[in-house]
Structure 1
Amino acid sequence: MPEIRTPDQRLRVFVSSTMNELSEARVAARRAIEQLHLTPVMFELGARPYPPRDLYLAYLDQSDVFVAMYGESYGMVEPGREVSGLEDEFLAAKGKPQLVYVQRPAPHREPRLTEMLERVARGGVSYRTFAHPDELVGLIGGDLALLLSERFGGTTGAPAPAEPAEPVEPVRTPRRLGGTNTFIGRRREQKELRSLLRGSGPRVVTLAGPGGIGKTRLAVEVVAAVARRFESVATVEVDQLASARQVPPAIAAALGVPDTPGLSVLDAVAGSVDGHRTLLLLDGFEHVLDVAPMVAELVARTSRLTVVATSREPLHLTGEHVFEVPTLGVPDWADSTATARRADSVRLFADRAAAAGVRLRLDESAVRTIAEICRRLDGLPLAIELAAPRTRLLDLPDLLARLDSSFDALGAGARDMPSRQRTLRSTIAWSYDLLDPPDRTLFARLGVFGGSFRLDAAETVCDAAFDDVSSLVDKALLRPDHSVPGEPRFSMLHVVRDFATERLAGTGEAEQLRKRHAEHFRRLAFDIGASLAGNDRIRPLVLTCVADRDNCRLALRWFVDNGDAGSAVGMGLAIWPLLFDQGLAVDVQEAMDRALATDLSADDRANAQLVLGMLAFLRADYGRAAEVLPAARAHFVARGDERGAATASLVFGTIDAATDPDEADRELRSAVDTFRRLDDRWWLLLAQLSLGLARVTMHREDAAIPLLEAGVRDAREAQDDVLFSNGLIGLALAHLHTGDLALAGRQFGEALERAVAFGSRETIPRALDGLAAVAERTGDTDRAATLFGAAEGVRGTAGTDMWGVDREDHAQTGRRLRASLGDEPYRRLTTGGAALALDDVLELATL
């Protein structure tokens, strides 16, 4: 039969403390003990007619639990004793459960108390700290409740803690986050986050970013990596909770803090974790942001708690460190196959395809296609994870084609993924559903843009205000874009924009917005053209044009589709001189072809033919240029348009330089005279450089060098990277022909450096060919052949052709290298050069 006790025989808790210094703390301790229906045993002077030591030892002997609170005073040492009553009580409590609480801060703590606390710690008794007596209610209450359940349950007859006054909704037990598949990449991010979570770093770190970017997986990996630095680690899947009200009890459950009668959940948690180095991961916080101040309060009331949160927007807390999680790195167009194969996004795609049972052969063709798929998906991990298993049904080119038209190509994810991440649409919809109505309206409207856009474009086209745009940035549905220095721009991930475009289609204002969008970018194109004619600084114009290439493409298509092909032609005429970016050049060329198939005015038709011919010439498609430009020039001559006629003559003069040098020289000099008379400074610069380069082709170097030197100087001043780098190549070719190899090498090298900086896929191989020629003539044939092959590799990767003015020098260098090396070494070295990544080529070029 179990021992039966009368109701007055409750478990006794002895409280040891200095009575005056810690009087308020003693009151708090009594309250915590009584709330658990236990009996506080507290020594008071004069309470009984016995010597003090006999009294407190008797009280202690009859108690079940020892609770001690220490501040700054060691207490009085009685005559004939070696320790104070405070330490004597602690020593006498050996063998009982001991809960020790130390006040902080304590700047005037007596040395003997400090020494005693050191002995306490060495003896294996850990203690917790408190700053204010109110904290003790939660600390002592929580620790005693846990002690009851672990040590006294079922043996002492002590009552169970009372039920809380208000029922709490059930909290789901957290599972291990992150899945079971391989974690790939993110080395830089892991290193930075591990550094933040060490030592005295921020105590609230939020991993922010759009859905599907891998916040949870990254957080789990980092938490696992630093876990050994903490005494305890806990996770709460906040995204699985139905409301903000469930967050505090979920945190308490994860940390093992029991319900404590008379205490709020926050008080109990703060009291329980204070003093312990604890790491708390709160995953998916974006839908309960209203409770974020509770997190801040919890951190403020504890001394060693660190919180890592994942959220689609920052928590906006004082002291919070926001870590924007980037997308996975995708290969650049200039990367070698080997380099592209090592890119995180490509590795993830191949790994997830293999997990689905598809072993991809990662040859050059496959890697290039996978890289393009990853670019189309913006390196978004979830999108890649959803796309890769589709290779069971689709080959890579077919998958890439389908991605351009439908979310459905991505399919559904694994069944054990959260429902909101089973498809990419549901992931984005989760973020969309959290928006308030004004944000939803703006989000849909911004779907009208392609690529990045300026703030003033959003204001003009979508009636957006800066705060409205900022709100969507906070919620990770928009991203700041820094492609143009000093210009506030924003962009959406492709998959997010696709979702916004779907929403826009259902609003009834899509066509009106598309018209406003097209008109805005037509005005932008005209402004760029006017600035170009005035020979302002060219580089900002180029950067803007390239940054808005997707918007310009959409505007061009809209005008042609809606019966205003003349506006499309006007845009093309305004911006073609800046289209070194091949993608936009192709877009404009396509628009001009479509415009010519409509009923254009004679002037618009000639202008479309001029734009087509100039773009074909820049891409070394001399056949197409010769096909469309004669009619355009004839029209310009007939109507007295000197500028249009002279522009077309630049092409004819350059093409004829090798076959009819005298006629070519006459045509180009006439164009120079025309642009000088019209005071069109940029076109005059283009004409002078064209004449100088043509004279190099004619082997009239003495006449070419002064023109090219002046043109290169003017192009540098105008910040025109295209004309500067290509003019420099012409100048280097002239010095190569005259035998000044050292100067030619320096000029080819500078041209290469500038071409790489602005990403010209046409100019880079021209400079590499020149450096190969210099290396061959100085006897460095192995390096020359490797550079020669690298030039061909860049042309192949970029899809560009060789300029006509370069063909004679290129062929001569190839013949000399083959004769010097022999066929097999020549083939081996050029093939090796073609396979190099651009970074490796640049290293070789600078030797």
Structure 2
Amino acid sequence: MTTGPPPRIRTPDQRLRVFVSSTLRELAEERAAVREAIERLRLAPVMFELGARPHPPRDLYRAYLEQSDVFVGVYGERYGWVAPGEEISGLEDEYRLTPRAMPKLIYLRDPAEREPRLDELVARIQDDDTASYKTFGSPEELAELVEADLATLLAERFDAGSIHARPDEEALTFAPVPTAYTPLIGREADVDAVADLVRDGGHRLVTLLGPGGIGKSRLAIAVAEAVGDSFDGVVFVALENVFEPDLLLPSIASALGIRDNGEIPLRERLAIALADRRLLLILDNLEQLVEASPELVHLYTLSPRSVLLATTRTVLRVRGERVYEVLPLATHDPASPSSIARAMEAPAARLFVERAQSVQPSFAVTPANTPAVVGIVQRLQGLPLAIELAAARVRLLPPAAILARLDDQLSLLAAPTRDLPERQRTIRATIEWSTGLLPPTRRELLSDLGVFSYDFTLESVEAIGAERPWAEEVLEALTDLVDSCLVSSSDVDGQAVFRLPVSVREHSIERLRAEGRDAEMRDRHARRYVRIARAEAGRLGGPDQRSAVERLALERSNLRSAVRHLVLSGDAEAATDAAFALFLFWWIAGYLGEIGVWMQQLLDRVPDPPPRARAVAAFYLAWNGMWLNTGPELPARLDEASALFRSAHDDIGAALALSAAGIARVAAGDPDLDAAADRIERGRSALAADGVVWGAVLGAVALGRLEWMRGDNEAALVRLREGRELSMNGGDLLTETIITHHFGRALLFDGQVDASADSFARSLEGSVALRHDEGIAYSIEGLAAIAAHRGQFRRAGVLSGAAESIRRRTAAIDAPAFVFHTSYLAQAPDPDEVRRGEADGREYGALEAAAFALAGAHEREPEGVRT
């Protein structure tokens, strides 16, 4: 990298570092003589036999070179050893890697019969106008030459930096860009994008914006390496320990090698030194000096051809600023978010593995620890510093144990690495560094935001803020937190949505608890989301269902958090009211099992809740059990829940539980199907009378399944066709997808293959629109059966494997009596073909599998084919 004028050599007592390059055994005497000459000048020799391996790896001698000040090359007859997989020897590689601006003193032994490749290297050196070379005959003569040349070089360069130099003659010594000791992972696109911004000259100030630990400084170093040849010099201004705004310009001047001797104002000295130079000035950790940001605009005038690259946790808000947001590393493949195998190829996982192996070389990725590694990086939201700190723990803990302890991130993620800045030694220090820069009202808002889980809206922040110090300036305060990278903001369907990083949220919760405000803020939060649940519940069962689901999906984490808080605080009525109102949403979102767990916790905390609260809890517990344990006690438990609903004057709840009791009998294989049909029909009729279309449609689905149990597919078609018409008229997309899928089964059983495929495809499209993973699994199982029927067994296997993966992830299990697609796959003449397809399909995400399924869903059945 070109760094401007030659660097001023430091005085002897500052231990100038001299890198010595030569073959080892051949020139052992000469190396000893050179070392003695260097040490006589009280300089520091950098020589591998003083502690390094005989054949050091490339990254090791490159690190030594980057920390050295002078290159001394001593060449005899041998070209040197070429390591396996390399094309040149370490001897030639050391010369090639030497920075162009570093002084190079070359000494050739004469006479010598040099190997051909060494002759070629010497010829290139002789053509290099940045290197000087001389010949020597003995080690003693070599020592005299080296000592004399180093003394001369030292005197020339020290004189160039004399304090008596006039400002217009001043030779700048730029603060070097720090050496990167670890590879940069997953930032290739960022490096290219930022390099383009600083290189094209159209942007005077490029700000790398991101929270602490995101990797801004490391990215800036990589950009400097990429664009150095486009500038007269690259200057690194370290500001992490500079807190006074008045010290910004002096710090920049110091990094440029400009001394403020008081003779003329510093700004004028900067103008003289920077005039006509095209420099890249990296201002690292500028966030605590934002008040001095206007000074940067003056630098534009002082150095009109230079570019400023700042790393900061907060937007500077000055003219000419071009913000580049540094985002977390990807933690999964967007096409298949649930694929563990693909997630291991994501940058976040690769970073974890690389850092883990750096502290524990024996660490290896195995099938057993892969899910834990993926879980760690996803739990840490792709934050590089957090990942590195977690990876450092593999010396003590396996990945599964690290993952289990990540609920307490702030104590787990502490760095054993002693040379990190104090603010990066722990995640806690990183957060406290950022929050310490905020005014008190912003810190209080950040603490209060800790009650939110993941995504939340401005309206929700306003709703919990009554009488809080920040209530009157909530928009401005939230903007400041976003600008400080302590809160992230995104646009979801035209609405601003905010989120706290997990570690920041944990820090905020700690503060709330320490200040004794945790319970109060959680009560406010729960009241807000109970109101949202009640407002949206009425839209879940009709034509507004999709809109309601989208709104609730946006708030889903906070809805769950609110219900859980009500459960843990023993508020049985509010908890069960919110839980039951959102029954359809919990189903679509895949949270019914979780709600069941909370209902059990509620009964444990409140042994004698009011009848309706008990009814809701009993209904959820039995509903989940119906798909996991089809024992004879489940119908009785649902009958009991129905009776409890009736005693609480909840007719809809009573009818729904009654229908569910009939469904439980069918799922359990109860031989008394008439009794089951009676319960389903009575519940269905009651729900239809009350205008609960979705409930009546689900009843029709249950009656259709019951007819299959009786072996009467014609009767099932009648029941399902009636329910399908009802669902389409009612505008309820969820139940339409459910009954359309079942209707597709009946059509397939009837031999109407093309119509069946169309029905499964329609059901799949509706499930995708709702992001209903269980519905997607059902539909692609239907299309797997269609593919197998058509002889497309590899395709059928892919769809079956994808459905299996979705069901395993969401714990959405169909009753064994109603699983049908496997019988079609069993007809494959080559079972291995199906198995290979299933293996591929297990790596598909739900939406990816849906797209694959729909791509071939509407093929037509060949003439004359019917089963």
C-alpha distance in 1, partners of 2:600/2:397?
A: 33
Given the alignment of the two structures, is residue 517 of structure 1 paired with residue 520 of structure 2, yes or no?
no
Q: Choose 1 or 2 for highest CA Rg.
A: 1
1:748-827 aligned at under 5 Å gives the runs 748-756=760-768, 758-803=770-815, 806-807=818-819, 809-817=820-828, 820-822=829-831, 824-827=832-835
C-alpha distance in 1, partners of 2:227/2:583?
A: 54
1:274-423 aligned at under 5 Å gives the runs 274-331=275-332, 334-423=337-426
**Residues 672, 188 of structure 1: alpha-carbon distance in 2 compared, 3 angstrom cutoff:** farther
The AA in structure 1 aligned to 2:410 is F
1:62-141 aligned at under 5 Å gives the runs none
1:524 partner SS: helix
Please name the residue that 1:102 is paired with: none
Please name the residue that 1:611 is paired with: 620
1:174-189 aligned at under 5 Å gives the runs 174=175, 176-177=177-178, 179-189=180-190
C-alpha distance in 1, partners of 2:270/2:513?
A: 49
Please name the residue that 1:544 is paired with: 551
Given the alignment of the two structures, is residue 466 of structure 1 paired with residue 475 of structure 2, yes or no?
yes
Q: Which of residues 482, 492, 509 is equivalent to 1:501?
A: 509
Contact 2:612–2:648 under 8 Å retained in 1: no
Please name the residue that 1:529 is paired with: 537
Please name the residue that 1:553 is paired with: 560
Q: Which of residues 639, 644, 653 is equivalent to 2:653?
A: 644
**CA offset digits 1:392-412 (Å, max 9, x no partner):** 111222211111135222222
Instruction: Give the deviation of 1:504 after TM superposition.
Output: 1.1
The AA in structure 2 aligned to 1:812 is S
Given the alignment of the two structures, is residue 570 of structure 1 paired with residue 570 of structure 2, yes or no?
no
**Residues 595, 445 of structure 1: alpha-carbon distance in 2 compared, 3 angstrom cutoff:** same
1:516 partner SS: helix
The AA in structure 1 aligned to 2:444 is T
C-alpha distance in 1, partners of 2:155/2:754?
A: 84
Please name the residue that 2:230 is paired with: 229
**Residues 754, 185 of structure 1: alpha-carbon distance in 2 compared, 3 angstrom cutoff:** farther
**CA offset digits 1:193-220 (Å, max 9, x no partner):** 2332342432211111111111111222
**Residues 413, 189 of structure 1: alpha-carbon distance in 2 compared, 3 angstrom cutoff:** farther
Instruction: Give the deviation of 1:576 after TM superposition.
Output: 1.9
**CA offset digits 1:65-106 (Å, max 9, x no partner):** xxxxxxxxxxxxxxxxxxxxxxxxxxxxxxxxxxxxxxxxxx
Given the alignment of the two structures, is residue 707 of structure 1 paired with residue 708 of structure 2, yes or no?
no
Identical residues among aligned pairs (%): 30
**CA offset digits 1:717-758 (Å, max 9, x no partner):** 45x4x4343333223323322333334334434544554555
Q: What are the ranges of 5 or more consecutive residues in structure 1 without an aligned counterpart? A: 1-148, 164-170
**Residues 744, 342 of structure 1: alpha-carbon distance in 2 compared, 3 angstrom cutoff:** same
The AA in structure 2 aligned to 1:791 is A
2:311 partner SS: strand
Given the alignment of the two structures, is residue 437 of structure 1 paired with residue 440 of structure 2, yes or no?
yes
Q: Which of residues 484, 502, 514 is equivalent to 1:475?
A: 484
Runs of 4+ aligned structure 1 residues displaced above 6 Å come to 149-155
Given the alignment of the two structures, is residue 491 of structure 1 paired with residue 490 of structure 2, yes or no?
no
Q: Which of residues 729, 732, 746 is equivalent to 2:741?
A: 729
The AA in structure 2 aligned to 1:207 is L
C-alpha distance in 2, partners of 1:581/1:353?
A: 39
Q: What are the ranges of 5 or more consecutive residues in structure 2 without an aligned counterpart? A: 1-153, 857-867
C-alpha distance in 2, partners of 1:440/1:172?
A: 41
Instruction: Give the deviation of 1:188 after TM superposition.
Output: 3.2
Higher mean displacement: 627-636 or 592-601: 627-636
**Residues 532, 336 of structure 1: alpha-carbon distance in 2 compared, 3 angstrom cutoff:** closer
C-alpha distance in 1, partners of 2:851/2:534?
A: 41
Please name the residue that 1:580 is paired with: 587
Contact 1:450–1:550 under 8 Å retained in 2: yes
**Residues 779, 200 of structure 1: alpha-carbon distance in 2 compared, 3 angstrom cutoff:** same
Instruction: Give the deviation of 1:185 after TM superposition.
Output: 0.5
The AA in structure 1 aligned to 2:365 is L
Instruction: Give the deviation of 1:499 after TM superposition.
Output: 0.6
1:600 partner SS: coil
Please name the residue that 2:695 is paired with: 683
Given the alignment of the two structures, is residue 745 of structure 1 paired with residue 748 of structure 2, yes or no?
no
2:582 partner SS: helix
**Residues 211, 258 of structure 1: alpha-carbon distance in 2 compared, 3 angstrom cutoff:** same
Instruction: Give the deviation of 1:536 after TM superposition.
Output: 5.6
**Residues 329, 172 of structure 1: alpha-carbon distance in 2 compared, 3 angstrom cutoff:** farther
1:404 partner SS: helix
Contact 1:576–1:611 under 8 Å retained in 2: no
Please name the residue that 2:24 is paired with: none
1:234-273 aligned at under 5 Å gives the runs 234-257=235-258, 259=260, 263-273=264-274
Contact 2:704–2:717 under 8 Å retained in 1: no
The AA in structure 2 aligned to 1:683 is G
Instruction: Give the deviation of 1:572 after TM superposition.
Output: 1.0
Contact 1:450–1:554 under 8 Å retained in 2: yes
**Residues 583, 417 of structure 1: alpha-carbon distance in 2 compared, 3 angstrom cutoff:** farther
Normalising by structure 1, report the TM-score.
0.74
Higher mean displacement: 374-383 or 333-342: 333-342
1:556 partner SS: helix
Please name the residue that 1:455 is paired with: 458
Instruction: Give the deviation of 1:176 after TM superposition.
Output: 3.5
**Residues 680, 321 of structure 1: alpha-carbon distance in 2 compared, 3 angstrom cutoff:** same
The AA in structure 1 aligned to 2:229 is R
Instruction: Give the deviation of 1:183 after TM superposition.
Output: 1.0
**Residues 755, 640 of structure 1: alpha-carbon distance in 2 compared, 3 angstrom cutoff:** closer
Instruction: Give the deviation of 1:508 after TM superposition.
Output: 2.6
**Residues 158, 486 of structure 1: alpha-carbon distance in 2 compared, 3 angstrom cutoff:** closer
C-alpha distance in 1, partners of 2:167/2:271?
A: 20
Instruction: Give the deviation of 1:260 after TM superposition.
Output: 7.8
C-alpha distance in 1, partners of 2:615/2:847?
A: 43
**Residues 448, 639 of structure 1: alpha-carbon distance in 2 compared, 3 angstrom cutoff:** closer
Instruction: Give the deviation of 1:712 after TM superposition.
Output: 5.5
C-alpha distance in 1, partners of 2:744/2:516?
A: 59
Contact 2:794–2:837 under 8 Å retained in 1: yes
1:405 partner SS: helix
C-alpha distance in 1, partners of 2:834/2:790?
A: 17
C-alpha distance in 2, partners of 1:754/1:637?
A: 34
C-alpha distance in 2, partners of 1:702/1:216?
A: 65
Normalising by structure 2, report the TM-score.
0.72
Contact 2:697–2:726 under 8 Å retained in 1: yes
1:444 partner SS: helix
Please name the residue that 1:210 is paired with: 211
The AA in structure 1 aligned to 2:356 is A
Higher mean displacement: 632-641 or 368-377: 632-641
